[in-house]
Structure 1
């Protein structure tokens, strides 16, 4: 299994080190890779993994603290922790979304995530892989409205992780971040969440059964439902 943690905390490009460091840390938080109340890796480890200076990393962490995403604690058990309550997404705006950009994001997600589900089902999964899928599925199913999007994202990342492809996991994370920016602009609808949870279960069941065709079809159906809602609210 390829860890999404490793895929997200990869070296940034030198030209925009501060901005990309903030982006990577926010991705890890918003996609649920580092959960509410969890501690980020140490400054030394993060700086090494991201390929940035400790100064740049501290500036990025300070910016996220000022924005309400993390807090720093001193002492033996100190470090940087994700806040239990995260800032609300920016105010929703209906419309004013570039149609071409919307379709581009939806097309990319469809190709990547249906392929990831198929590839995951085609692998011989280890007990750890199987536990990872069932655990993230259970967390998504039990998530509150406030935490649903992060737990949902974490499940979709888990599917990419068990493909054992670092490149795919990293790309799915980037694509999911784009989609989440669009989802933040529309309301969470409880009937849709119930339907999504049932579809999640079908996807995971197909992967665990080693049925690539069923896994791809179940993921395609799930993704198209989300795409329909986005088109309805944002087109």
Structure 2
């Protein structure tokens, strides 16, 4: 694909991302360019400097996103005079879900957003919530060799802090649904590192009994996961 074509089409695809989840949304944007054929198999991506400008992020963030997609098999780096970052040819291994499951992605993300953001707010309002328990779950999550089950336990601990059995059941259902989707995409170390910072902000907001901050922290956290799911599976 010519540079001119990349430039004209990329304007509609590579748009500035939000600062809160810059890495995750940069990954989503790059995957979208591959899925839409803006850069085809065997073609070279635009330079890091151009991608950083288009996405409104630092070159370091672009470099981290490219490294993650290189590890996942979507991209490869070549050295030398004609080097750069290229889309893998033949096509990278597919992580696509069955069509009927992929069509339900937004349904699951909407359900999770409503339930878990509400749970974070309710936990911050609950005077009987135990911040030490939440912190213990957060620290266990940060150290876990098997990250996703520990992540689920942390989110369920937030629901338990609300004292509402119905809300606990709703969060558990949301986690079952979203974990089925997460199992279809790779674990990205940079995303885990970022998620743990967000987890700590959640614990701090709930411990401070600040429902607005807890809502905002959970919303930002879920949007990062949603960006990756949309990028890999959308």
TM-score bracket for this pair, using the shorter chain length: 0.5 to 0.7
> SS of the counterpart of 2:229?
helix
Report the counterpart of residue 33 of structure 1 in structure 2. none
Report the counterpart of residue 198 of structure 1 in structure 2. 197
More displaced 10-residue stretch of structure 1: 191-200 or 129-138: 129-138
CA contact (8 A) 1:153 1:176 kept: yes
> SS of the counterpart of 1:160?
helix
CA contact (8 A) 1:119 1:163 kept: yes
Listed as ranges, the matches of 1:93-172 within 5 Å are 93-98=95-100, 99-126=102-129, 129-144=130-145, 147-172=146-171
Deviation at 1:199? 0.4
CA contact (8 A) 1:196 1:222 kept: yes
Distance 2:221 2:131 in 1: 21
Distance 1:137 1:125 in 2: 18
> Unaligned stretches of 5+ in structure 2?
1-92
Deviation at 1:131? 2.1
Change in Cα spacing, 1:205 to 1:92, as seen in structure 2 (3 Å) is farther
Distance 1:227 1:97 in 2: 18
Distance 2:115 2:196 in 1: 20
TM-score, normalization: structure 1? 0.58
Distance 2:99 2:137 in 1: 31
Does structure 1 residue 175 correspond to structure 2 residue 174?
yes
Runs of 4+ in 1 over 3 A off after TM superposition: 95-100
Deviation at 1:95? 4.3
> Unaligned stretches of 5+ in structure 1?
1-90
Deviation at 1:92? 7.7
Please tell me the root mean square deviation across aligned C-alpha atoms, in Å. 1.6
Distance 1:154 1:189 in 2: 19
Distance 2:126 2:98 in 1: 42
Report the counterpart of residue 187 of structure 1 in structure 2. 186
CA contact (8 A) 1:92 1:185 kept: no
Distance 1:163 1:220 in 2: 17
Distance 1:220 1:136 in 2: 19
What do residues 59-111 of structure 1 show as CA deviations (whole Å, max 9, x unaligned)?
xxxxxxxxxxxxxxxxxxxxxxxxxxxxxxxx983243444410000000000
CA contact (8 A) 2:95 2:232 kept: no
TM-score, normalization: structure 2? 0.58
Distance 2:212 2:148 in 1: 26
The count of residues paired between Structure 1 and Structure 2 equals 141
What do residues 150-186 of structure 1 show as CA deviations (whole Å, max 9, x unaligned)?
0000000000000000010011101100000000000
> SS of the counterpart of 2:174?
helix
